[in-house]
Structure 1
Amino acid sequence: MKTSFKNKDFFKALISIALPITLQNLIASSVNMLDTLMITSLGKESLAAVGLANQVFFFYSVTIFGVATGSSIFIAQFWGKKDTMNIKRILGISLTIASVLGMIFTLAALFIPEQIMRIFSNDIKVIKLGVDYLRIVSISYIITGISFSYAVASRSTGQAKMPMVVSIVSFLTNAVFNYLLIFGKLGFPQLGIKGAAYGTLIARIVEIAIILYFIYSNDGNPLAGSIKEMTDWNNDFIKKYFKTAYPVILNEALWSLGTVLYSVAYAKIGTEAAAAVQILNTVQNIFMVMTRGLANACTVMVGNKIGAEEEEVAIEYANSFMIISITLGMFLGIMLFLTSDAILMFFKNLTPELYATSKKLLIVLAVFFFIKAFNGTMVVGILRGGGDTRFSMILEMAAVWLVGVPLAFLGALVFKLPVYYVSALVCMEEVVKAAVGIPRIISKKWVTNVITDM
């Protein structure tokens, strides 16, 4: 198996792309961590309410991530050819879809928040708190969709530093306003869970303002398209876009819906289980930042090489990324296992039962972490970066809907297992995904030039 470990250009490109993305993801995850730490002090009902209400945002954000990454397949390959005209057209499609989806999710959260919360919980207090949070934070959805589109496109054109800087500012803005509005400091009203929602909304507004300023104030930025340039499509162009991008969009939408159903299954176990899962997700996001940065770097680097018609180099890159992802995943899994008690010390006012449940969930995550890291690079980095979007869609859909979701509800509702055992059952989807995906990587059938004839 050929690798690129002796190629200095490989590591130079890897670091220049992955490091800013990792830092951006770390900052974004730290925002979530900070929210959770602050809300923990309000009680397990508030913690469960925010975690469950944010499943709506999670479903939306992962779906638009699918739109943005589906578009980035084209943008990375067009950037390999330095074709800026078509980059702007693809970005325009991405922005349009993200905005339309954002409007749909916002209207749902504004007008039927109680019905949405009842899907997740029967706890009246959790439902009421979740409704309060959802109505405010939903206003940020469209803004987030636009930010996502520009940020992912920036990475695909080698501008990974900009999204990182934006995330730093967003983190600081969110942290300050969360502190002021949750607890009522420096003369601001004490809003509790509503304060967390307003903090998020303010941070998103600041975020999009900086992104637009950066892109349109720099002459020659490949993403600085006019409305006319970004909507200069014909039917043939749109058909070719959706032929490659729809599997990614559908994949992310259905994968995230499956993950939302995991949360429904966990919440059926009880409010304490829902609160523990919110802690788990927060810690998982922190530990996944490096692996996500690696996967995104893989998408860009593999896509660039295929677009430049250097397919053998793209295969060598893919092999290298697989080895790195497994090694990194094992290291982080061991670290999580050894530091689970220290991590939980950051979460204040946990009851002994919630502490014990959260620790067992972290141990389950630690055991399966290496395979999660590998699968992220395999699906997002290699298969999608290589243009093999249909196979990656079928792989993830089968793993989630034929393995993960059935096992989650069997464990929670039929066998009535504790939440940490249900979480372990859900991780079986990762095992299936790796077993089916590895032969596809070895076959090299994933190498596809998607921009031919566009």
Structure 2
Amino acid sequence: MANGNLSKVLWTVSLPIIFVEASETFDRLIDTVFLARVGVTELGAIAVTDSILLLFLVLPLGLVDGIQILTARRVGQRRPEAVGAIFSQGLVLVLLICLALTVLLKLLSPVVSYWFVTSDEVGVLLDDYLQIEAYGLVLTGATFAYSALLVSIGRSRALVPATLLLVSIDVLLNYLFIFGNFGFPALGMRGAAVGSVGAEFVTCIFLTVYLWRLDSGRYRFFRRPRFEHRSLLLLGRLASPIALQGGVETLRWFLFFLILESMSTEALAIGNIVFTCYIVFLIPTEGICEATCSLVSRYIGRDWLPKIDEILRHAISGALMVTGPFVAIALLAPHWLVSVFFPEAVGLEQSSISLQVVALAMLVAIPAEIWFTAVIGTGDTAAALVIEVFISLAMLGFAYVAAFHLALSVAMVWVSLPLASLVNLVFSYAWMKSGIWQRHEA
């Protein structure tokens, strides 16, 4: 395969996925922009609520990643019937787990919301949001499972209209229910939760109908699943470390936000703004990472191992090229970006400096994320889990010392991000080059 064709394949798969990554990021971005007009406390609280939700989703999303790896591998092996069998089994497991997690979150939310934060006002907002958002867990699990399948079978273009639909509904419902426009109740934080659940519902229905019409009997996506021992073992072997790795990553950000909340409510609000900008910067990279994960798994299935380094080079250069303009704006005009979110001028300076730190961190974070994704794509998810632990220890250790022992500014606490990215890059690159991952077969 020529370099130009390889690059074309990467971007053909990546572009629709970028829309998907944008949809999840835009959900947080929309909430942040709207809630910034409600109050600083709401602006900070949304950062913690998102982290708690992701903690509850780590197991189903780990299964989703396992589904993507295995279905991509079966596509590479040209076994369409196995693709449908793995997806149908995996989807049922995801939905059952999400149903159980919905009940668990409803029960635990009043307790969890007050355990981890020092401000009672933030605790009330957390519980208000989570009680409604809990109903969206099943919808989120199904939507992610559909997205993983569409990427694996090369039908990711359908994710573009799905993303546009999700963003449009989310903006509309937030506008109506956060502020109470056109006679709707003004719900504040709860309105943001209503918007997220409503947008997920419409998107899930759209993708369900699309896959139902797409399946002409070749894959049999929605057939009654016959649980196969080997497929379940493979899913479990892949998903368990991925879920743990996702849990460690989510817990890292959750604890990071708690460190900021312990500093002050304003520091938490600044942290939410900077983190929102960070995940916006990562949108192209995350889309390319998802495509890279599927391509690495597919190439292993076809025994095209020499192509892996080549696809990683294309992925890194492409992500850097697309993200470069965002990084430049953040470095040269950070006040312009921050002013879009922050309603209070008092936090403008620290937010701007923190944003510049994060922008510089992208130069390390992009290659680190892509090499780390390659580790996952090989199926060596246990190694990915170990790497994630080292990343988290580095980031949280530095942030804790900077905040509590050295009493440094919020911007200096964010220096923990480029440090963690450097650890990620070194470990992921070394593991891929060692070749030890070749002992795994799925």
Scaled by the length of structure 2, the TM-score of the pair is: 0.93
Q: Counterpart in 1 of 2:367?
A: 374
| Aligned CA-pair RMSD | 2.2
Q: 1:107 to 1:415 in 2, by over 3 A?
A: farther
Distance 1:58 1:358 in 2: 24
Residues 269 and 416 of structure 1 are in contact (CA less than 8 Å); yes or no, is this contact kept in structure 2? no
Q: 1:366 to 1:267 in 2, by over 3 A?
A: same
Q: Counterpart in 2 of 1:269?
A: 263
Q: 1:109 to 1:418 in 2, by over 3 A?
A: farther
Pick one of 384, 395, 399 that aligns with 1:408. 399
Secondary structure of the structure 2 residue equivalent to 1:346: helix
Distance 2:118 2:201 in 1: 33
- The one-letter code matched in structure 2 to 1:312 is P
Residues 311 and 447 of structure 1 are in contact (CA less than 8 Å); yes or no, is this contact kept in structure 2? no
Mean Cα displacement is larger for which, 438-447 or 297-306? 438-447
Q: 1:140 to 1:223 in 2, by over 3 A?
A: farther
- The one-letter code matched in structure 2 to 1:189 is P
Residues 78 and 84 of structure 1 are in contact (CA less than 8 Å); yes or no, is this contact kept in structure 2? yes
Distance 2:220 2:383 in 1: 33
Secondary structure of the structure 1 residue equivalent to 2:277: helix
After TM superposition, the structure 1 = structure 2 runs for residues 122-137 of structure 1, keeping only pairs within 5 Å, are 122-137=118-133
Q: 1:412 to 1:64 in 2, by over 3 A?
A: farther
1:212-237 per-position Cα deviation (integer Å, ceiling 9, x unaligned) = 10001223376642342xx3233333
After TM superposition, the structure 1 = structure 2 runs for residues 17-416 of structure 1, keeping only pairs within 5 Å, are 17-220=13-216, 224-228=220-224, 231-325=225-319, 332-347=326-341, 349-350=343-344, 352-380=345-373, 382-400=374-392, 402-416=393-407
After TM superposition, the structure 1 = structure 2 runs for residues 401-440 of structure 1, keeping only pairs within 5 Å, are 402-440=393-431
Residues 65 and 148 of structure 2 are in contact (CA less than 8 Å); yes or no, is this contact kept in structure 1? yes
Residues 173 and 199 of structure 1 are in contact (CA less than 8 Å); yes or no, is this contact kept in structure 2? yes
Distance 2:305 2:435 in 1: 10
Residues 375 and 430 of structure 1 are in contact (CA less than 8 Å); yes or no, is this contact kept in structure 2? yes
Alpha-carbon offset, residue 370 of structure 1? 1.4
Alpha-carbon offset, residue 285 of structure 1? 1.8
Residues 269 and 418 of structure 1 are in contact (CA less than 8 Å); yes or no, is this contact kept in structure 2? no
- The one-letter code matched in structure 2 to 1:436 is F
**Percent pairwise identity:** 20
Alpha-carbon offset, residue 406 of structure 1? 2.6
Distance 1:256 1:139 in 2: 20
Distance 1:428 1:63 in 2: 27
Residues 66 and 253 of structure 1 are in contact (CA less than 8 Å); yes or no, is this contact kept in structure 2? no
Unaligned runs of 5+ in 2: none
- The one-letter code matched in structure 2 to 1:338 is L
Q: 1:272 to 1:18 in 2, by over 3 A?
A: same
Secondary structure of the structure 2 residue equivalent to 1:345: helix
Alpha-carbon offset, residue 92 of structure 1? 3.2
Residues 101 and 137 of structure 2 are in contact (CA less than 8 Å); yes or no, is this contact kept in structure 1? yes
Q: 1:223 to 1:43 in 2, by over 3 A?
A: farther
Alpha-carbon offset, residue 294 of structure 1? 1.3
Alpha-carbon offset, residue 440 of structure 1? 2.4
Secondary structure of the structure 1 residue equivalent to 2:306: helix
Residues 255 and 396 of structure 2 are in contact (CA less than 8 Å); yes or no, is this contact kept in structure 1? yes
Residues 60 and 101 of structure 1 are in contact (CA less than 8 Å); yes or no, is this contact kept in structure 2? no
Distance 2:183 2:326 in 1: 42
Alpha-carbon offset, residue 447 of structure 1? 4.4
Secondary structure of the structure 2 residue equivalent to 1:180: helix
- The one-letter code matched in structure 2 to 1:438 is Y
Distance 1:209 1:253 in 2: 28
Q: Counterpart in 2 of 1:13?
A: 9
Residues 330 and 369 of structure 1 are in contact (CA less than 8 Å); yes or no, is this contact kept in structure 2? no
Distance 1:447 1:266 in 2: 41
- The one-letter code matched in structure 1 to 2:358 is L
Moved over 6 A (4+): none
Distance 2:24 2:186 in 1: 24
